[in-house]
Chains A and B, each alone.
Chain A
Amino acid sequence: MARLFAITIVVIAILSAIPILRHTWVAPEDISTHGALIDEQMSETMAEAGISFLAAQFILAFFVWKFSNRAPDAKLKKFPGGAKGLVIGALLVVGIEVMALGLFGVKAWANVYLDAPSANAMPVQVQAGQFAFYFRYPGVDGKFGGLHPELINEGSQNIFGLDPEHDVDARDDIVAAEMAIPVNKEIHLLMHAKDVGHSFFVRELRVQQDFVPGLDVSLHFTATKIGKYEIVCTQLCGLGHYNMKAYLEVMSQQDFDDWLKKQAGQ
């Protein structure tokens, strides 16, 4: 039975590694300027974690195979390296490994979260509410109107609670149920929750960020490939959470300008 155990964990370990090696289930192709670093970090971590996983399972299997159900008079043996060798080895190998991962990972994180958006990044506001995303563009004046929660009324399509009657900046604000952005243009996404916690996740963009009710959160990214991508909510927000989604359309600058004009005319 010990040998069966050893064979089983070796088979499980190998079968577990096959989908990883064959890239059977992986994230879709990256369409952002910052995503390559994240993907690289993921690959390096996969290599290190994969080797650790296989080595640990194989050694366990080998020892169980070799040292189980031995004869009563078989001699016990001490592991030659002793505990000290293992501890020093773990401190060195794992310590260096985690330090390296930690330090290299800083750059990938900093690209998204620590570096400020450039001055000419295009601002887009996204509002999350049960169970839809809405997007706002500042219009030709380049300024967003103020938000007035008490004016929010979905029936009259005042989704953001704008007050165009008294607020000049709000008059040309453009509100849409889908997000469109020009390709190769940096976007400064201003995130705002209407009711409870939500999240903004676009796999292809390598972007995931929670909305924090009562707190404005922002991030910036640049999409590099024209196409239509799904935006989904990843923060449990209520009964319709599974169905809270919108689309991101990355388009050429010309198409984007036409789209914006069309939205402004509606």
Chain B
Amino acid sequence: MHDMSAPVAHQHAPPTSFIRKYVFSLDHKVIGKQYYGLALLAAYVGMGLSWLMRFHLAWNSTAIPGLQFLSASGAPGGVMTPEYYLQLMTMHGTIMVFFVLTTAPFAAFGNYFLPIQVGAEDMPFPRFNMMSFWVTFTAFLVLMSSFFVGDGPTLGGWTQYAPLNAIGSVGGPGQGTGVVLWAVSIALFCVGQLLGALNFISTTLDLRVKGMSMMRLPLSAWSWFITSCIGLTAFAVLMPACILVILDHVAGTSFFVASGLVMNDQVLPHSGGSTLLWQHLFWFFGHPEVYIAIVPSMGIVSHILLANQRKPMLSQRVLIYSMGALAVLSYMVYGHHMFVSGMNPFSSLVFSFPTLVITIPSTIIVLIWTFSLYGSKLRINSASLFSLGFISMFVSGGVSGFFLAQPSIDIMLHATYFVVGHFHLVMGVAAMFGIFAGTYFWFPKITGRMMSEPLGKLHFWLSFVGAYCIFMPFHYLGMAGNVRRYSTFVDDFLQPLIPVHKFITIAAFVTGAAQLIFLYNLFYSRFKGAPAPDNPWEATSLEWSTATPPPFDNFGGKHPIVYHDPYQYGVKSSVGDYVMQTSPEQVETEFEEK
């Protein structure tokens, strides 16, 4: 640990009661770990659901032993019904997008490390921070409760298109209570994330210590800051949209149901609503959500690669500006989800343009990462492998965006497995790789113990090859016209594609099993891992200049002072080829960005 010789900070006494220390904690680090635990639980639930779905798609008349105990009506004798497939699919998507991809890279790692990386004792509004987690946790419980209430969860997909989401149980199993629980859960989730975003933004802007200018923030801190700005506006739109759905169910309103719709030969008692309104509101949130999921991982991966390549980025500024460009453009592209929705076809052309343009900052980011490796001294470990895997996955998922950005091609690919392959690679697997990289990198700082490297590498290889085996064939299926969200493939033209589905299912089982290795490594290392030094990676940012694990107030009663840019690698200093941000030592570097 570096001696910072910094002024004494105001000391808060750490809590002593179990409840205040571990449950309703105000400490950002505990809240970060709580978010991580929630994301971990949600990820394994979501993965379990995907296993059930994949099994059904490959062998749809074969019983899954024990499934009937989860839902006697949804899986009589263990064989999944079409509606139960859709219910599991909806829960898989909702859990993964909201409770894993949003919570882990942003809320979990951001909560733990953003205050430390800016040199603060905590976030400015610790009670809001605590509330943010517990509201999110409640949202998760509300969502999960739909498995056990009424006729199960909603079957309308994570996008919950209108008017199926607003007409009640006449629309099918789960479309009554299930939808209301879904909408309550997501509205609560939005509240939690808005509170979090408020804290992240004010932490970044107001709590930076002396010497920590904005351009001296690590790239991970920048990515959390940018993501908070996106979240503040995106969740603020989704939350009222969910409230309107709830009102359509419980208050007799018709925000999303048009006049004259007929179910079971009866005209529905709604009138005057707009079904396309929901899509506009949802995707105004939904597309920025893609960047809420991926931008934190971009920052995390950059942070980790820099520590492992022992050389600064080609340009940190360009990377920051490009992430900012992604954030701004993310609001202007949402209509590409609606090319064939029935909106004005001129709008499709208008939305197509920024969707194509957004590939430019994405390309610049990939080029900066890749060409920064040139001439480096890259260290290979679990964290850097997952970071490199992230780049590979982001590229593979990103190039398919070229197709979906064009309305004319979308005519053929919309609502097919091509779309499923695209978003799973670019925002699902890539973001998961960011989460894994962050875990292997920061685990020593959080727990004081190292994770097992052999197990970490085994986890990487199975996940990397496995994810490609699952999601690359999705693109081929989509090109052949395989429609998504089908519980069974009855169409003639889909029959030749079923062997591909079987291959994907086997790959999904192997890749899923690899995640159990990660889980074992996580818990084993927590208790039996080798003791970690304060700075095992010889990294430069503030989290590595404090004790391991960090004390309650992060810096042991001191405010650190920052003297350097965040990534001073490739220098000659008294400690090696790097100089920490808190070190007053003057070093010369040929890599400094002017």
Contacts and interface: CB of A to CB of B under 8 A. Distances in A.
B356 A98 contact: yes
Given A68-B380, A69-B380, A210 B409 contact: no
A154 B364 contact: no
B32 to A, nearest CB: 30
B491 A230 contact: yes
A46 to B, nearest CB: 8
Given A98-B360, A109-B407, A242-B486, A234 B414 contact: yes
B406 A45 contact: yes
Given A68-B380, A94-B359, A197-B275, A27 B156 contact: no
B124 interface: no
Nearest to A149: B260
A240 interface: yes
Interface in B462-489: 464-465, 468, 472, 476-477, 479-481, 483-489
Contacts of B388: 5, 60, 64
Contacts of A242: 82, 485-490
Nearest to B174: A239
B353 A102 contact: yes
Contacts of B396: 16, 53, 57
B357 A26 contact: no
B341 interface: yes
Interface string B237-264: 0000000000000000000011111110
The CB with the most chain A CB atoms within 10 A, among B81, B173, B485, is that of B485
Nearest to B395: A56
Interface stretch (A35-43, A176-184, A257-265): A35-43
B399 A53 contact: yes
A215 B457 contact: no
A45 B375 contact: no
Given A83-B315, A238-B155, A60 B493 contact: no
Contacts of A105: 352, 406-409
Given A41-B406, A194-B261, A64 B373 contact: yes
A76 B492 CA distance: 59
Interface stretch (A85-93, A137-145, A248-256): A85-93
Contacts of B167: 195-196
Contact of B340 (A9, A155, A199): A199
Contact of A214 (B156, B258, B367, B380): B258
B261 A149 contact: yes
Interface in A1-54: 1-2, 5, 8-9, 12, 16, 19-20, 24-28, 37-38, 41-42, 45-46, 48-50, 52-53
A48 B403 CA distance: 10
A119 interface: no
A207 B402 CA distance: 20
Nearest to A228: B492
Interface residues of B, number: 112
A152 to B, nearest CB: 5
Contacts of A63: 370-371, 373-374, 376
Contacts of B265: 152-155
A9 to B, nearest CB: 5
B310 to A, nearest CB: 7
A236 B89 CA distance: 12
Contacts of A77: 374-375
Contact of A25 (B314, B342, B357, B480): B480
Nearest to A42: B409
Contact of A240 (B82, B408, B479, B485): B82
A232 B483 contact: yes
Contacts of B411: 38, 112, 206-208
B372 A94 contact: no
B402 A1 contact: no
| Size bracket, chain A contacts | 35 or more
A1 B389 CA distance: 13
Given A42-B409, A149-B261, A242-B486, A199 B399 contact: no
Contacts of B356: 98-99, 101-102
Contacts of A12: 392, 465, 468, 472
A67 B376 contact: yes
Contacts of B493: 28, 203, 230
B62 interface: no
Nearest to A240: B82
B232 interface: no
A224 interface: no
Given A76-B311, A101-B402, A112-B411, A234 B162 contact: no
A149 B315 CA distance: 62
B275 A215 contact: yes
Contact of B274 (A57, A64, A152, A214): A214
A234 B483 contact: yes
Nearest to A245: B491
Contacts of B487: 241-242
Contact of A27 (B403, B481, B497): B481
A116 to B, nearest CB: 12
A70 B340 contact: no
Interface in B4-38: none
A67 B171 CA distance: 58
Given A8-B464, A69-B378, A212-B275, A206 B412 contact: yes
Contacts of A26: 479-480
A39 B81 CA distance: 37
B171 A196 contact: yes
A64 B407 contact: no
A41 B408 contact: yes
B522 interface: no
A73 B30 CA distance: 41
Contacts of A233: 483
Contacts of B311: 76
A212 B276 contact: yes
Contacts of A19: 476
Interface in A189-213: 193-197, 199, 201, 203, 206-213
Interface string B407-447: 11101101110000000000000000000000000000000
B164 interface: yes
A2 B389 CA distance: 12
Interface string B102-126: 0000000000000000000000000
B374 A67 contact: yes
B83 interface: yes
Given A90-B363, A102-B352, A239 B155 contact: yes
Interface of A: 1-2, 5, 8-9, 12, 16, 19-20, 24-28, 37-38, 41-42, 45-46, 48-50, 52-53, 56-57, 59-60, 63-64, 67-70, 72, 74-79, 81-83, 86-87, 89-91, 94-95, 98-99, 101-102, 105-106, 108-109, 112-114, 129-130, 149-150, 152-155, 161, 193-197, 199, 201, 203, 206-215, 217, 230, 232-243, 245
9 contacts: A1-B457, A27-B412, A53-B399, A60-B370, A69-B380, A90-B363, A209-B340, A238-B155, A238-B171
> Lowest 10 A-B CB distances belong to which pairs?
A214-B258, A77-B375, A83-B315, A108-B408, A113-B345, A239-B83, A98-B356, A212-B342, A242-B486, A234-B415
Given A105-B408, A239-B172, 20 more contacts: A25-B476, A25-B477, A27-B412, A37-B408, A52-B395, A86-B364, A90-B363, A101-B405, A102-B352, A105-B406, A149-B267, A194-B262, A195-B263, A197-B164, A199-B340, A206-B411, A208-B340, A213-B163, A239-B155, A239-B173
